[in-house]
Structure 1
Amino acid sequence: MSLQTFPVLILCAFYFLTYSYIYADQDENVDVNTDWKWAVRKIKELEEQVRIQDERILTLEKRPTASEWASMVDIRKTVQKQHDRIVQLEARIDELETQTEIENNELVETRSPEHMHVTNSKRPMIHSKRSMAKNKRLLLQPTTVPVETVAFFAYFSTHNPPSTHHHILAFDTVITNVGKAYHPHSGTFIAPRTGLYVFTWTIRLWGSSYHTSELLVDNNIVNTIYLNPVDQIDGSVTGTAVVLVNQGDDVLVRTGSTYNNGDIKSDTNGRSSFAGWILM
């Protein structure tokens, strides 16, 4: 029942009581009239409901709005940041005061004639103060741990004849494998963590050999390179990609779906290679 209907009910109940009172016999006892008692009870119930609704409305009016809640949260965050900054500045001030005090003491002792006669028992005290100041500085250093380095570099130990399409190039000679994420037997790099990576690969060809090669990340082609020496040059081609890789994704180089013939060259005159590293 809405609050707007309460006045109407009260008014109806008032007319009903007035009507019953006027037309009641003079010798009729109002207290024993059933309709009268019901009307009085109903009025009291309506008044109680109105009172409860008024209290609820008053409570709702006192509650903060969504914008007020957001402002309160922002204020609390600002206060917390200011508190943290104050704590850092106080620690820095203590460090500087300690360092200044130690330097002043060393300067006075250096200028004093008695400095040449400092006993061995006083020297450890000075070193102790230096150690305390150093420890304080270390405690104030940032505690964030840098991202662990991930990097690899591998090349073919000899010529490789991947004349078929979609042949994975397994660069078998590993020079660098920080993080042990590159697997030379399968030619696959498995990302140990999510991050932004750089990958580069070089294919050397000569004579009648020609190849298209692709860089795949999580089975998706990211970059493609092609070289055809046409029996005229002994050269190489390099592809590079900067790509976001999720933890557990496979990264590899394979031959393309078209234009593949002959050996991929790799010897002391020029290596076919594959490398990658994490940026952040």
Structure 2
Amino acid sequence: MEKEMVTVSQENAKLREIVEDLETRLNSQENRIRILENGIEECQGNNKDLNKHSNKTKIMKTSEETNLKIPTNPPERQSNSLKRSTDGRSKHPKTNPTIRDSENIAFFSFLSQSQDTPSHSHIIVFDSAPTDPGNHYNRFSGIFTVPKSGTYVFTWTIYCDYHGFLNTQLIINQDVFVSSYCNADGVTWYKSSTATAVAKVTQGDVVFIRTHSSETNKGQILSNHYLKTTFAGWFLF
């Protein structure tokens, strides 16, 4: 009888532990539900504010469009504006929507810090571009997009770490235009290689520097306070 009572007592204790654990979990779930409900209410409030702002913006835009006055030319002036000059050309010549005639096309970029040994076909992203008046070089992708057809000069300098070597290429669209090799293997100091190319390109072409598609590279691409790995280009004619 005593053994049975002990057994029942132990089972009751286990049941109490289970009930307490369930109560704890239930309280935790209730708290999470309250947090989620508060978040939903906050989101709904934000949506209401956004809808109010959107409606207000639409009303303001409609009002501006209604009050906008479109100037009109007298019939005689309109007729004259459509006439062409005696040489057959329009008085309003077409303009290039991409660039202005007076815009200088040039960029200069460099690596802000050294990079670990690059893999094959790795585009080198020169992430700092202090000179790029037309914003045609993308310092996040490392790609220069040609804004105007013509002949350009491109040049790049690569510094390789001692005991290292790097094979780089100038790529125009998908084609290798020219290559450069920096070799510091077997020496106890860094070395550099510089290559320059003059290329005829078309508006919309992309130009960038990458590593060789199959040749192995060894060592870092160096760029620091004392030396810079650079990439530059400019419109020639």
The TM-score, its normalising length taken from structure 1, stands at 0.47
Larger % of helix: which?
1
Q: Does 1:167 align with 2:122?
A: yes
CA separation in 1, counterparts of 2:155 and 2:208?
Answer: 11
SS at match of 1:240: strand
Residue 150 (structure 1) aligns with: 105
Q: Does 1:260 align with 2:217?
A: yes
Residue 206 (structure 1) aligns with: 161
Whether the 8 Å CA contact 2:153–2:236 is kept in 1: the answer is yes
Unaligned runs of 5+ in 2: 1-86, 88-99
CA separation in 1, counterparts of 2:231 and 2:117?
Answer: 16
Matches within 5 A, 1:122-161: 148-161=103-116
Residue 31 (structure 2) aligns with: none
Letter in 2 for 1:276: G
**Aligned equivalent of 1:242, options 195, 198, 203:** 198
Alpha-carbon shift at residue 206 of structure 1 (Å): 2.2
Q: Does the C-alpha gap of structure 1 residues 177 and 238 become closer, same or farther in structure 2, counting only changes over 3 Å?
A: same
Q: Does 1:227 align with 2:166?
A: no
Whether the 8 Å CA contact 2:183–2:191 is kept in 1: the answer is no
Letter in 1 for 2:219: G
Q: Does 1:279 align with 2:236?
A: yes
Residue 184 (structure 1) aligns with: 139
Q: Does 1:218 align with 2:173?
A: yes
Give the fraction of aligned pairs with identical amino acids, expressed as a percent: 37
Alpha-carbon shift at residue 233 of structure 1 (Å): 2.6
Q: Does 1:197 align with 2:142?
A: no
Q: Does the C-alpha gap of structure 1 residues 149 and 226 become closer, same or farther in structure 2, counting only changes over 3 Å?
A: same
Letter in 2 for 1:169: I
Unaligned runs of 5+ in 1: 1-83, 85-144
CA separation in 2, counterparts of 1:206 and 1:162?
Answer: 10
Alpha-carbon shift at residue 262 of structure 1 (Å): 1.8
Whether the 8 Å CA contact 2:161–2:219 is kept in 1: the answer is no
Letter in 2 for 1:258: E
CA separation in 2, counterparts of 1:162 and 1:181?
Answer: 28
Matches within 5 A, 1:18-167: 148-167=103-122
The TM-score, its normalising length taken from structure 2, stands at 0.55
Letter in 2 for 1:252: F
CA separation in 1, counterparts of 2:223 and 2:139?
Answer: 16
**Larger RCO: Structure 1 or Structure 2 (Cα < 8 Å, ≥ 6 residues apart)?**
2
CA separation in 2, counterparts of 1:222 and 1:162?
Answer: 23
Alpha-carbon shift at residue 227 of structure 1 (Å): 1.4
Alpha-carbon shift at residue 162 of structure 1 (Å): 4.2
> Per-residue displacement from partner, 1:98-135 (whole Å, max 9, x unpaired)?
xxxxxxxxxxxxxxxxxxxxxxxxxxxxxxxxxxxxxx
Whether the 8 Å CA contact 1:197–1:279 is kept in 2: the answer is yes
Letter in 2 for 1:275: A
Moved over 6 A (4+): none
Letter in 1 for 2:202: N
CA separation in 2, counterparts of 1:267 and 1:245?
Answer: 32
Whether the 8 Å CA contact 1:157–1:173 is kept in 2: the answer is yes
Whether the 8 Å CA contact 2:162–2:191 is kept in 1: the answer is no
Alpha-carbon shift at residue 146 of structure 1 (Å): 5.2
CA separation in 1, counterparts of 2:118 and 2:125?
Answer: 14
> Per-residue displacement from partner, 1:124-171 (whole Å, max 9, x unpaired)?
xxxxxxxxxxxxxxxxxxxxx956321000100100124210000000
